[in-house]
A and B are shown apart, each in its own frame.
Chain A
Amino acid sequence: MISTLQKTIRPVWAVRGLHKSAVEVLKRPDPEDTVTASYGRFISEVKPQHLSSLVLHRSKRMVLDSIGVGLIGSTTDVFELALQHCQHMYAPDDISSVYGRRGSRLSPTLAAFVNGVATHSMDFDDTWHPATHPSGAVLPAVLALSDMMPNSKPSGPDFLLAFNVGIEIQGRLMRFSHEAHNIPKRFHPPSVVGTMGSAAACARLLSLDHSQCSHALAIAASLSGAPMANAATQSKPLHIGNASRLGLEAALLASRGLEASPLVLDAVAGVAGFDAFYEDYVPEPLESPNDGHVFLLEEQDMGFKRFPAHLGMHWVADAAASVHKLLVGLGPGTVSPSQLQDILLRVPKSKYINRPFPESEHEARHSFQFNACSALLDGEVTVQSFTPAALRRPDLLALLSRVRVEHPHDNPANFNSMYGEVQVTLVEGEILKGRCDTFYGHWRNPLTNESLRKKFRNNAGAVLRSEQVEGLIDVVGGLDTLGDCRDLLSQLQ
């Protein structure tokens, strides 16, 4: 009965009364009134002109950073493994390009997969509040899909629109629960909202109708969700890779007419939809883009990382760096473990980033202790801080054995409110303290365009020639006026 009220864009209110049967019908909402339907409509109706110049500016920065991080990520072992898997289990295809590998192309979903893995392989990609890594789940899929489009590639504005839809949907979904506002404990957020964002972005780029857009989201929900236990392991980057790939797959299946739950985002008692992933869940409909809708990116900027480690590490690294400066000022110019008796870290309570003696690069990127000690020794944490040699440095290991961790009650496990404090006791007894409330790169203290480009040049330059690097900076900078994103697509390898 309900689905026979078919695909009218504007609900025909008068029709609602006609189809009630005498039987006590389950109290189902009018199909056009659901949260799920509102999301489908938004995705299908939003246009490039709905993007403000601030949102365009911020999202272009995200695109640039994400590409750079993906390019340097293409030098990692986990990327290599994922790529070989795709090339062996499937076969090279000539459709969608692979970051940093000239001549390598794969089927679109597989390209989205490996490029997503690359993006998250070093935990170097952007982070938002509420917490997730939004771009890595969306950009690889949008790029792969653009490569797939047969005759004309999307324009720059259409490309940016799809990207922003993918980001927006993620942000909106995370606001459905309090749980999402804190550092995660159960599901790794990119695996939950990232898949949905990718599906939304791809549905937008494919210009699916509102019903297909809803189904894309619902199909994606059945592909979401990975446990936190795999964070800090080599499998973590696959969470982003799979989010990107499976969101694209969901949109492609929806475009072929596959249907799923029309209530996936709504909370139906006794039958979990998207709320399966959260302990508390209150969904809100998304207003029409023509009804005063404001993109979340307008109100909440993105955090970019200065070094490849979990976001929480950036606070302790900045705090430790300030202590390093003090230590160096005291002479002799470098920091030696023999000077330090005790190192105390005051950080929020979060098991998966509290690792006293990390044994792999993945664990090191998720260790308050490791990052604090690296910054104490070197004054900063960089890409080089996580090499096998760096992980085994005797000086570093000596410092690690002197670290204690406290979890003050006023330090919540929340990227919007946390702080990091490093307190060092010297052998002579003097105590040096450093505290960071907002690291440089946080959304409250964003990287300057110059810093962002410098990061990009370092990353992209590891894999591309400098003309290509500068070419990418230019083309992304002008993406909102680009007639055809072919120029972007051709420069990624």
Chain B
Amino acid sequence: MLCKGITESFGAAIHALNTTKLTDGVISRSKRMMLDTLGVGLIGSRTAVFNKALTYSQSFKSDERSSVWGKSQITLPPPYAAFVNGIAVHSMDFDDTWHPATHPSGAVLPALLALAETLPSRPSGLDLLLAFNVGIEVQGRLLRFSREAFNIPERFHPPSVVGVMGSAAASAKLLALSPAECIHALAIAASSAGAPLANAATQTKPLHIGNAARRGLEAAQLAQMGLEGNPAILDIPSGFGVYYKDYSPSAMTVPASGDFKWMLEDQDIALKRIPAHLGMHWVVDAALAARAKLENTARNFDLGQIRRVTLRVPSSKYVDCPLPSTEHQARHSFQFNASSALLDNKVTVSSFSEAQINRPALKELLSKVKVETPKDNQPSFDKMYCEVEIETDQGQSYAARCDTFYGHWRKPLSQEDLVDKFIVNASSVLCSEGVEGLIDVVGNMESERMLNPGFISQVDKQSTGAVLQPAKIVNIRLE
């Protein structure tokens, strides 16, 4: 068996990385990711899928307990806390997205917070940031082992492949495992990787992130207890390579002195404005722009005058859904998101409710939508574009194109808009002191000497149960 020492290098690197290697840039970006993830997880704790998973998870007994985001009275065994909180994060497809494509934070943060609550001594904010960034970095590295990973997926859902590895790496870091134990944590985690894409656009998709968090955590714990797997798991094609058609791994090195180049420094993350698959953000921005053109030109603008809407999008079957019937399908439908944007002049959290999905006006508009997949539109989040062309009964045509939506890594959300998104999300579950408290904790994380990892459930909490405040986020900035 060919052993190029790659897995060994990962074990050594995870072990060697320490808080002095964190840079201002990486701390700043990862805190944004943490805040966004917490907010998205909090609003996600009100979804049906989260409740099903929570009820199921409550059947387990344990001595150690960890917090459930958004539920101050409930705790769970740590792996199941990671499970349900991870599900919450991905439940509305509202969580961060990276390039090459995956949702990195949801697989890592829930595991770390759950694990941190079991540690004999409280970690510092820097410890948590370090472990978090290890989890993100490992995912980024693994995604670069294949060309396949650079395109919108077709076979395995990426969070289920690299997410569990990131969770294992992050947990191993927080547990301060030895280099050998870190290797085995990765090896054990690899046997928990890989969920098929067919479950995207269904209620089960959030479990991919929940399970990545949970099983990566378990892998690290099993490694800590001495369980061993294949120490060449990243090196060989019958190891981690099974998840990819082309596979070319490379080593990870941490210079003993001098800087470590974090991938997050080079390649920022996309934060979503809309709880839907990333591809929808392009089509929504383009649809809103086309609609604005129509509104500016036509005097008595009436959507009934639309004869046809043409979408020019990259070819990707699992987000090509002409007539979605569930919220999950709607979040994965170019057609639905374009039509919602045209009908309502915005797409928000409430656009995906059952009532909204079943509106006759929306269905009528959907029946007029046609999808084209031009050859120059590459199915890659780094290269794709969306065009929306509206044709009216009068024969007029209004088209707009979006190359980079606002929130993409090339055009990141301003700090103000990021915090606004968080406030809207968190306020669905916490009162305003709780919301502000979380913003403070995350904002000052690198200065925290002893972090209370249960901070998310310690904030003064009352469920508002009320209608969500109107989204202030919809400040669309287009090309």
Contact = CB atoms under 8 A, between A and B. Distances in A.
Interface of A: 1-4, 21-26, 78, 81-82, 84-85, 88-93, 107, 110, 185-188, 191, 218-219, 221-230, 232-235, 238-239, 242, 249, 252-253, 256-261, 263-264, 268-277, 351-352
B424 interface: no
Nearest to A2: B325
Contacts of B255: none
B211 A222 contact: yes
A81 B198 contact: no
Contacts of A23: 322-323, 366-370
B191 A230 contact: yes
Given A3-B326, A228-B242, A272 B55 contact: no
User: Interface size for chain B: under 10, 10 to 19, 20 to 34, or 35 or more residues?
Assistant: 35 or more
Nearest to B236: A229
B317 A269 contact: yes
Interface string B47-89: 0010011011001111110000000000001110000000000
A268 B316 CA distance: 12
- Candidate in A88, A238, A239, A274 with the most chain B CB atoms within 10 angstroms: A238
A349 to B, nearest CB: 14
Contacts of B192: 226, 242
Contacts of A22: 367
Contact of B323 (A21, A221, A223, A263): A21
Contact of A261 (B63, B193, B199): B199
Nearest to B118: A89
10 contacts: A91-B63, A187-B242, A188-B191, A218-B202, A227-B193, A228-B238, A249-B56, A263-B198, A272-B156, A277-B196
A223 B345 CA distance: 39
B207 interface: yes
A185 B238 contact: yes
B196 A221 contact: yes
A232 B191 CA distance: 13
A256 B154 contact: no
Given A78-B227, A235-B187, A235-B230, 9 more contacts: A88-B63, A90-B60, A93-B61, A219-B204, A221-B195, A230-B230, A273-B197, A276-B198, A277-B194
Given A2-B325, A218-B202, A227-B239, A270 B366 contact: no
Contacts of A92: 61
- Candidate in B61, B201, B317, B320 with the most chain A CB atoms within 10 angstroms: B61
Contacts of A186: 238, 242
Interface string B234-250: 00101111110000000
A256 B56 contact: yes
Contact of B77 (A89, A221, A352): A89
Given A91-B63, A218-B198, A218-B202, A272 B155 contact: yes
A84 B225 contact: yes
A149 B202 CA distance: 29
Nearest to A354: B1
B11 to A, nearest CB: 15
5 shortest A-B CB distances, which residue pairs?
A270-B317, A273-B198, A229-B239, A222-B195, A226-B191
B329 to A, nearest CB: 9
Nearest to B241: A227
Contact of B238 (A2, A227, A235): A227
B187 A270 contact: no
